[in-house]
């Protein structure tokens, strides 16, 4: 889907000191990204700490983002889980009128084999909704092999994209070589964004991008234009901060960046905690270098 090209950002959920959702800061975050070149917004992804939001809070966050965005950028909604039929039900019952697609993470904890992963997404495809496969083995405990992705892409046109976050970049390249026309791949790993885009990817669904939307979106656009040297200059400028924000897990690092920029307050919900003092100091120092 060409509309989902470039830099999508997996928005954090800002919290107040009492850990209620900070809607004012969420507004600032959305405006900051819209005004600085982000191409689309991903709502209630893993980075949003969606696992710790109540159903009512999720509904409020969705409604707030739709309202503030006001159709300026395309939207993607995260709906995933390890109960296939429940995920299917949630997709079928969700009001997706404001969204271009659903981002659905592969089943976690259960560790299905490749046939189980195929059957899971086959069921989700039966909803008829546009769905982005999300492969992130570091979180789910199981990798979707490239052959399984290609099998799904060839059989179900509404499985229109994969957010690929396997630790082996060769898997990205295998999918890009073998994928059918009309199926897209975006990087799910910020540091792989540039090489994957240059190899034919559609960009990234990013975490660091919401902290540095102008720089990151410029880098990806330069990659699309084949301006490799200029793109790598930006990549090299951001690579250290990209590594630092994930050093103690996500989204504690990006929340330090956004708090330092005055966009949100630095609070997370348990079981996640704020970045350590040492990591916070390193992030602030690298931000000063940038």
Q: Which residues are catalytic?
A: 134, 163
Q: For residues 18 and 14, what is the distance between their CA atoms, to the nearest angstrom?
A: 11
Residue 43 in contact with residue 26, Cβ under 8 Å?
no
Q: Residue 55, Cα to own-chain centre: how many angstroms?
A: 20
Neighbours of 116 (CB within 10 A): 15
Q: Quote the tokens at residue 281.
A: 């100091």
Q: Which residues contact 134 (CB under 8 A, 6 or more apart)?
A: 80, 103, 104, 105, 106, 162, 163, 165, 188
The residue written with tokens 């990151």 in the block is: 216
Nearest one of 69, 80, 78 to 39, comparing CA atoms: 69
> Pairing between strand 6-10 and 203-206?
parallel
Residue 215 in contact with residue 206, Cβ under 8 Å?
no
Q: For residues 94 and 117, what is the distance between their CA atoms, to the nearest angstrom?
A: 23
């Amino acid at each position: 889907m060409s509309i989902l090209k470039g830099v999508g950002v997996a928005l954090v959920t800002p919290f107040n000191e009492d850990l209620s959702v900070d809607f004012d800061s969420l507004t600032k975050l959305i405006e900051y990204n819209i005004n600085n070149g982000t191409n689309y917004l991903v709502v209630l992804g893993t980075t949003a700490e969606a696992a710790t939001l109540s159903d009512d809070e999720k509904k409020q966050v969705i409604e707030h983002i739709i309202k503030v965005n006001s159709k300026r950028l395309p939207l993607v909604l995260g709906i995933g889980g390890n109960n296939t039929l429940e995920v299917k039900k949630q997709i079928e019952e969700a009001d997706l009128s404001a969204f271009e697609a659903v981002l659905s993470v592969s089943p976690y904890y259960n560790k299905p084999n490749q046939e189980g992963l195929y059957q899971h997404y086959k069921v989700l495809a039966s909803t008829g909704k546009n769905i982005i496969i999300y492969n992130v083995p570091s979180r789910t405990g199981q990798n979707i092999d490239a052959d399984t992705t290609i099998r799904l892409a060839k059989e179900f046109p509404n499985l229109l994209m994969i957010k690929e976050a396997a630790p082996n970049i060769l898997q990205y390249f295998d999918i890009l070589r073998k994928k059918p026309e009309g199926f897209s791949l975006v990087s799910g790993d910020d540091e792989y964004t540039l090489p994957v885009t240059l190899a034919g990817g559609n960009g990234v669904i990013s975490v660091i991008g919401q902290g540095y939307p102008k720089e990151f979106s410029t880098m990806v656009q330069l990659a699309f234009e084949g301006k490799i040297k200029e793109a790598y200059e930006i990549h090299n400028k951001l690579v250290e901060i990209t590594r630092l924000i994930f050093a103690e897990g996500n989204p504690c690092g990006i929340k330090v960046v956004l708090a330092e920029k005055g966009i949100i307050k630095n609070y997370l919900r348990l079981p996640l905690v704020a970045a350590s003092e040492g990591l916070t100091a390193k992030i602030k120092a690298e931000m000063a270098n940038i």
